Amino acid sequence: MDFKLILKKLNNTLSEEESAIFSKWYNDSNQHKDFFEKVKQAQQDEALLVDIEKGWKSIENKIKPVSAKKTNYLKYAVAASIVLLVSITIIVQQNTEHKVVAPEVATKNIKIGTDKATLTLADGTNVTLEKGQHYISNNIESNGEELVYQPSKNQNPEIAYNYLAIPRGGQYHVVLSDGTEVWLNSESKLKYPEGFIKGEPRAVELVYGEAYFDVSPSSNHEGAKFKVITNDQEIEVLGTEFNIKAYRDENLIYSTLVEGKILIKSDSYENILLPNQQTIINKNNNAVDLINVDDLYSITSWRKGVFSFKDMPLSNIMKVLSRWYDAEVIFANKEAEDILFTGILDKNQSIEEILFSIYNTNNITYEINDKTIIFK
């Protein structure tokens, strides 16, 4: 939406057509409403409004901000990025003056992630799935971005398991034969049957990685429950949406409920989760924490094409980005690991744009050498 419409709204000069456009945008989300209120509060400060408009335009055009020195500018630029979901701007907790000098890039072999996966059929055959390529076999079809299983005509099919493995730098969407949808993040693997037995529990296994489940309700399957198994827990579902993060190189397993209700079981824990609740299981000692989540968006936004970070250490951010861009990260500067950032990143941005934005806000120098990012 044109930034001028916001200003015209503040001055009560919108035409009927413009008013309709503004109302639709304003009511689309709470983030839009919050951004409008911030602009309203700043309308008496002409210089600040100019800064905000520049930030808005830079984000609309997917270019870097003109300046990174003004705290307010960064704050409102990120507010605009929340509206548009394409920001490469990041807020840093400290406000540091610095020179804008492009860091060293030895080679540019780090590519943006894309839709890709390896499907392993019951007979052991491996099928490479890539964006732009089609695959059809029996009741399975892929358009290069998602894999869809048609319901089995046999009411009691022989259980045959498939595996869908997502490499670093990949993502994929699969629709199981019962209609359950699963979004798989980079470096993840899912085991599931080609068809479910009528009336029997529907069970899949998240072997490792991160997945978002939108489960077909039990009421559509004669009450058959849906279960998701990981190495350290079992989740029993009654028609719901939730996110599981269980990477092999991380000691914590995060299970977050978005809608519905799930029963979580582990060796030492059993509890029913309600929406906006999350369990955190420590694989080292089986300790379990139950917390309330204020910001579901930051947890689930990855499946919608963006990464959202809120007060997150740079080391954790780079762990997420390293999977998507299939890159290695080295912190020669250990102090940089703990600097907190908040912001939203478009998954289609190049790694160079993202890293330069990080550098531009707090002068954290880095070097890209082949597929390795080094913070110096």
Average pLDDT over residues 21-43: 76
Q: How far is it, in rounded angstroms, from Cα 195 to Cα 122?
A: 12
Q: What is the pLDDT of residue 303?
A: 93
Write the CA distances from 222 to 194, 198, 201, 206, 336, integer angstroms. Answer: 19, 8, 10, 24, 54
Q: Is the pLDDT of residue 72 over 60?
A: no
Q: How far is it, in rounded angstroms, from Cα 169 to Cα 327?
A: 8
Confidence category of residue 42, pLDDT binned at 50, 70, 90: low
pLDDT tens by residue, 122-138:
999 999 999 989 999 98
Q: Are 344 and 306 in contact (CB under 8 A)?
A: yes
Fold type of domain 104-110+299-375: Phage tail protein beta-alpha-beta fold (3.55.50)
Average pLDDT over residues 254-259: 96
Q: Is the pLDDT of residue 192 over 50?
A: yes
Write the CA distances from 324 to 166, 350, 360, integer angstroms. Answer: 11, 11, 22
Q: What is the pLDDT of residue 79?
A: 39
Q: What is the pLDDT of residue 73?
A: 35
Q: Is the pLDDT of residue 62 over 50?
A: no
Chain-centre distance for alpha carbon 82: 14
Q: Strand, helix or coil at 144?
A: coil
Q: Is the pLDDT of residue 57 over 60?
A: no
Ordered DSSP codes for 62-93 = T---S-S--HHHHHHHHHHHHHHT----EEES
pLDDT tens by residue, 300-334:
999 989 998 988 999 999 999 999 999 999 999 99
Q: What is the pLDDT of residue 77?
A: 38
| Amino acid identity at 206 | L
Q: What is the pLDDT of residue 219?
A: 82
Average pLDDT over residues 68-86: 35
Q: Are 81 and 91 in contact (CB under 8 A)?
A: no
Q: How far is it, in rounded angstroms, from Cα 254 to Cα 243?
A: 8
Q: Are 140 and 151 in contact (CB under 8 A)?
A: no
307 forms beta bridges with 345
Average pLDDT over residues 178-205: 94
Residues of each domain in the chain carrying CATH 2.60.120.1440: 114-293
Residues of each domain in the chain carrying CATH 3.55.50.30: 104-110+299-375
Q: Strand, helix or coil at 113?
A: coil
Fold type of domain 114-293: Jelly Rolls (2.60.120)
Q: Are 373 and 318 in contact (CB under 8 A)?
A: yes
Residue ranges in the chain assigned as alpha helix (H): 3-10, 16-28, 30-42, 46-60, 71-84, 296-300, 314-325, 351-362
Confidence category of residue 356, pLDDT binned at 50, 70, 90: confident
User: If you count DSSP H runs as helices and E runs as strands, how many of each does the chain have, helices first?
Assistant: 8, 25
Count Cβ atoms below 10 Å from residue 66 Cβ, excluding itself: 12
pTM to 2 decimal places: 0.73
Q: Is the pLDDT of residue 76 over 90?
A: no
What are the phi and psi torsion angles at 37 (to 5°)? -65, -35
Q: What is the pLDDT of residue 176?
A: 96
Q: How far is it, in rounded angstroms, from Cα 34 to Cα 131?
A: 37
